[in-house]
Structure 1
Amino acid sequence: MDDLTYWLVFFSAALALNLAPGPDLLFILSRTLAHGTRVGLASAAGVCSGAVVHVLAAALGLSALLASSALAFSVVKYLGAAYLVYLGVQTLRSAGSSFTPKAAQDAPRSAWRAYREGVLVDILNPKVAIFFMAFLPQFVRPEHGQPTLQLIGLGLLVIVVAMLVEGSFVLLAGRATRFFREQPKAALWLDRLLGGVLLALAGRLALSER
């Protein structure tokens, strides 16, 4: 496989995987719709920061532990599910208040909190670790030496693609927040919907298998 074909296949796969709606993207969109573009971008940055941890774990072989140990996988999985339940309940309890002017004024603090939440949501999803462990080695080229460095480099490129994709979704979703600030009833139902989505993601993660 020549270099051009190699990179076309790699970036096409990375783009397709990042465009597929998964827990990370749904979490980011829920934060964006509830709190605006700034918080959405902070959530995306947090998710990508968590992904860096998984990339390093995959490169160092730590992700193999999650793939081979049912106990380790279950512990991380249930911690992640519990955290998503917590976020879902918090969203349901907000009852549309996240769209009030006061919530907009609290954006700097909310952005930092959203970043931390994004980091935890990604780190506590063992399937992300296994994804990187399964996906990245397919593109390692032995003739280029240093497989560990190649894994880290490839993983960071996947994260760059994720940042571009997620950032684009955030900018599009952010435009909808003005409408919800002007429509209290719609905001109430959206918070209920987003809370339900987070709870559904928690259930999906809790029921997932290695």
Structure 2
Amino acid sequence: MIQFYDLTIFALAALVLVITPGPNMIYLISRTLSQGRKAGLTSLLGVICGFLVHIILVSFGLTAVLFAVPFAYLTLKTAGVIYLLYLAYQAIKPNSKNIFETDRNLNSDNPRKLFAIGFLTNVLNPKVAMFYLSLFPQFIKTASGSIMMQSIQLGITQVIVSLSINFIIVLTAARAASFFNQQPAWVKIQKWFMASVLAALAFKMAFTKAK
């Protein structure tokens, strides 16, 4: 089992991932603003099921790779540091958009299609796959038991964080959009805070030794 401290740090990284604008967030906000909360929640269910696919694939993949390739940890760590710094830059780059500047004129879709699009949006989201592949190895210790079980534990933690935050986003999308449109200064604060946390996580990861 993963220690509580390490799990807490991972949960923070998962939190940063979910509040970083990406395909999942844009889709959920767009659907909520165009079709209402029920459509947003249906789409969210599809997104969460997409996470489960990533968890299964990464859990089996990491178990095989980390045992077979001794240098895999260093490779994945380097990729993780670069990826986090890339996300930090994306958050504060010039002319980056407000996360609520989304398409409100989408065609209405039935629940089955909303679920399917949410599912595929997440399964095909490279940000999620990169997050799992680059960060999971930083928190897995071979001395703590099965790599697969530790991967699943991390995956479940990430899903809980993502579900909680995205649920709140769907419920408050309309009000939040109105607030951020009227208070542009808060958009800048949100972006710089996000970038700072991402950079801090990258720094921690860069100096984390193999376990």
Residue 121 of structure 2 corresponds to 121
Residue 132 of structure 1 corresponds to 132
In 1, the alpha carbon distance for the partners of 2:15 and 2:106 equals: 35
In 2, the alpha carbon distance for the partners of 1:97 and 1:23 equals: 15
Residue 18 of structure 2 corresponds to 18
Q: Which AA in structure 1 matches 2:49?
A: S
Give the secondary structure class of the aligned counterpart of 2:21: coil
Residue 201 of structure 1 corresponds to none
**Corresponding position: 1:54 with 2:58:** no
Give the secondary structure class of the aligned counterpart of 1:61: helix
Q: Which AA in structure 2 matches 1:11?
A: A
Distance 1:50 1:4, change over 3 A: closer
In 1, the alpha carbon distance for the partners of 2:136 and 2:149 equals: 11
In 2, the alpha carbon distance for the partners of 1:175 and 1:111 equals: 24
Q: Which AA in structure 1 matches 2:132?
A: F
In 1, the alpha carbon distance for the partners of 2:139 and 2:106 equals: 46
Residues 60-85 of structure 1 deviation map (CA, whole Å, 9 limit, x = unaligned): 11898xx9xxxxxxxxxxxxxxxxxx
Q: Which AA in structure 2 matches 1:17?
A: L
Residues 129-179 of structure 1 deviation map (CA, whole Å, 9 limit, x = unaligned): 2321111121112222110111012112101100001110000015689x9
In 2, the alpha carbon distance for the partners of 1:96 and 1:6 equals: 43
TM-score, with structure 1 as normaliser: 0.58
TM-score, with structure 2 as normaliser: 0.58
In 1, the alpha carbon distance for the partners of 2:154 and 2:114 equals: 26
Residue 166 of structure 2 corresponds to 166
Residue 110 of structure 1 corresponds to 110
Residue 71 of structure 2 corresponds to none
Residue 153 of structure 1 corresponds to 153
1:1-210 aligned at under 5 Å gives the runs 3-61=3-61, 96=105, 110-174=110-174
In 1, the alpha carbon distance for the partners of 2:51 and 2:6 equals: 23
Higher helix share: 1
Q: Which AA in structure 1 matches 2:30?
A: S
Unaligned runs of 5+ in 2: 66-74, 76-101, 179-211
Give the secondary structure class of the aligned counterpart of 1:42: helix
Give the secondary structure class of the aligned counterpart of 1:21: coil
Percent identity of paired positions between Structure 1 and Structure 2: 33
Residue 207 of structure 2 corresponds to none
Instruction: Determine if contact 2:28/2:43 at 8 Å carries over to the other structure.
Output: yes
Residues 75-131 of structure 1 deviation map (CA, whole Å, 9 limit, x = unaligned): xxxxxxxxxxxxxxxx98xx9585xxxx6xxxxx72332111101111122342232
Instruction: Determine if contact 1:36/1:174 at 8 Å carries over to the other structure.
Output: no
In 2, the alpha carbon distance for the partners of 1:176 and 1:8 equals: 27
Residues 22-41 of structure 1 deviation map (CA, whole Å, 9 limit, x = unaligned): 11111111111111001101
